[in-house]
Structure 1
Amino acid sequence: MQNFKAGLLKDNPVFSLYLGICSTLAITTTVNNAIGMGAAVIMVLIISNVIISAIRKIVPDDIRIPVYIVIIATLVKIIQMLIEAYAPALNTSLGVFIPLIVVNCIILGRAEAFASKNGIMDSALDGLGMGLGYTLAVLAMAFIREVLATGMLNIVNPFDEAQVLLNVTLIPEEYTIGLFNSPVGAFITFACLAAALTAYKTHAEEKAAAKAAELKEVKQNG
């Protein structure tokens, strides 16, 4: 459970570990893209972690990385085919970034660093935590970029693009900033959110250290 919680904030794969940044910067132009990519990454992370954990004792060390890549690539291809069949609009908007999940540092990193060394349940929770952490990161970036660039938040049904689930104007058109629809806007958004999370963690650590010092002083005086 501790690993699950860590992936959400403390060890967030995007803003703390700085993994999977390429896809994060590219697909966060809309919330729809972020939801689709986040769901795909969550599924691949959980299933690949479970499989790799289950076979970790029978895979020779010298070929473990190729084995991991084959497993991940197979899962990604299955998910890509499902998206093509049931959510073609999402497949078109995400484009090449769905197949590139195969080489996403988050997936392979968790396989090597955690799933290959821990049990199935712990590995599944780790995959879920990291996947949700990635999804929260891309959703935060996509929300900021879409709203600032277009002034609107537009969410459609990924299985039926004609069905609008949410369409609301948050900023008048004359106050929008088109820059946030470009790569420069992606870098600015990423930098601001990463800095904010770092500041929050630093403050939390300083507060915890001060509390620990206070308790130690009380014990010594007591």
Structure 2
Amino acid sequence: MDWQRFRENSYNGLWKQNPGLVQLLGLCPILAVSTTLVNAVSLGLATILVMAVANLAIALLRNFIPYEIRIPVFILVIAALVTMVDLAFNAYFHELYLVLGIFIPLIVTNCIVLARVEAYAAKNDPVASTIDGVMMGLGLVWVLAVLGGTRELIGAGTLFAGIDMIVPALSHIDVFGQDYSGFLLMILPPGAFFTLGCLIALFNWINARAASRSERASGEPSAGAEQAEAATGA
């Protein structure tokens, strides 16, 4: 895999085709689990693992999978990987496993995973497919991190609440002090929709400004060339 292709896969996953902000896939976990930064990132990392290994497995087996039954085979592979992740969370991060609950098994039905397996891994080599899975997963993780961090910060005035479920020696940070009463709406489901909407609006605004700057930059040489031609004709 060449460097140009790696950059393209990275840019698509992290920004251009971001699954959370552009494709709007996996909204159920995005909205439900992003109450805290730790919960959101934990589920995102589990999704990365499933996406990367699923893409690798399908890319290796794509020539042996009959086209007519490809979707059931894809789901079977994803379900096996999610089961392994689910059991690992239950064994090593039991408290976090109880908090995330049904959303770990629901990775099987996450449209992001199945979409990348069908659209990319089934048509490309194993290395490129694995990188695509990782980058798409990272694109979801940073969206989850921003959503979870924003909702936790405004809603409860803390960051990294629940980090002790992963690393017992660590504890959360009271950003606004213990006297902060919190803003309950941000922790409730409406806060998830509101925060995601603001994030999508900011994302579109950044893209619009970048496109405008690109148009102005590409237009300047042509304007200068026209002036030079006019001066020559005069």
User: Which category of TM-score, normalised to the shorter sequence, fits these structures?
Assistant: over 0.9
* Compared CA separation, residues 27 and 214, structure 1 to 2 (3 A): same
Per the alignment, residue 16 of structure 2 pairs with: 10
Please state if 1:28 is matched with 2:46.
Answer: no
Distance in structure 2 (CA, Å) of the matches to 1:13 and 1:175: 34
Q: CA deviation at 1:57?
A: 1.4
Question: Which of 192, 207, 214 is the equivalent residue of 1:201?
Answer: 207
Residue 108 of structure 1, CA deviation = 0.4
Unaligned 5+ runs, structure 1:
none
Deviates more, 1:172-181 or 1:52-61: 172-181
Structure 1 distance, partners of 2:177, 2:200, is: 24
Q: What corresponds to 1:127 in structure 2?
A: 133
Structure 2, gaps ≥5 residues long: 1-5, 230-234
Q: Structure 1 5/190 Cα, relative in aligned 2: closer, same or farther at 3 Å?
A: same
* Equivalent position of 1:107 in the other structure: 113
Deviates more, 1:97-106 or 1:50-59: 50-59
Find the counterpart in structure 2 of residue 149 from structure 1.
155
1:38–1:135: 8 Å Cα contact kept in structure 2?
yes
Residue 58 of structure 1 deviates from its aligned partner by: 1.6
Check conservation: 1:10, 1:201, Cα contact below 8 A.
Answer: no
CA apart distance, 1:166: 3.9
User: Which entry has the higher C-alpha Rg, 1 or 2?
Assistant: 2
Change (3 A) 1:102 1:213: same
> Partner amino acid for 2:37?
V
- Asked if 1:91 is matched to 2:103, the reply is no
User: How far 1:163 sits from its partner (Å)?
Assistant: 3.0
| Contact 1:32/1:158 (<8 A) preserved | no
Q: Flag the structure with higher strand content.
A: 1
CA–CA separation in structure 2 for the residues paired with 1:213 and 1:61: 47
Distance apart, 1:202 and its partner CA? 1.4
Amino acid at match of 1:119: D
The question of whether the paired residues in 2 share the 8 Å contact of 1:150 and 1:173 is answered with no
Corresponding residue of 2:76: 70
The two structures, once aligned, show a CA RMSD in angstroms of 1.7
1:189 equivalenced with 2:195 (yes/no): yes
Query: Which has the higher mean CA deviation after the structures are superposed, 2-11 or 66-75?
Result: 2-11
Which position in structure 1 is the counterpart of 2:87? 81
TM-score w.r.t. length of structure 2: 0.88
Task: State the number of aligned residues.
Answer: 221
Deviation, 1:181, is 0.8
What is aligned with 2:170?
164
Cα offset for 1:217? 4.2
Cα displacement (A) at 1:175: 5.9
Using the TM superposition, give the Cα deviation of residue 174 of structure 1 relative to its aligned residue in structure 2, in angstroms: 4.4
- TM-score norm. by structure 1 comes to 0.93
Sort the Cα spacing of 1:159 and 1:177 in 2 relative to 1 into closer, same or farther, 3 A: closer
Structure 1 distance, partners of 2:145, 2:201, is 17
| Other-structure match for 2:53 | 47
Structure 1 residue aligned with 2:182, among 176, 181, 185?
Answer: 176
User: Deviation per CA, 1:135-182, whole angstroms, max 9, x where unpaired?
Assistant: 00000000000011111113414445x432442323674463110010
Q: How many angstroms apart in 1 are the aligned matches of 2:86 and 2:50? A: 11
SS of 1:134's equivalent in the other structure is helix
- 3-state SS in 2 of match to 1:190: helix
Asked if the contact 1:148–1:171 (Cα under 8 Å) also holds between the matched residues in 2, the reply is no
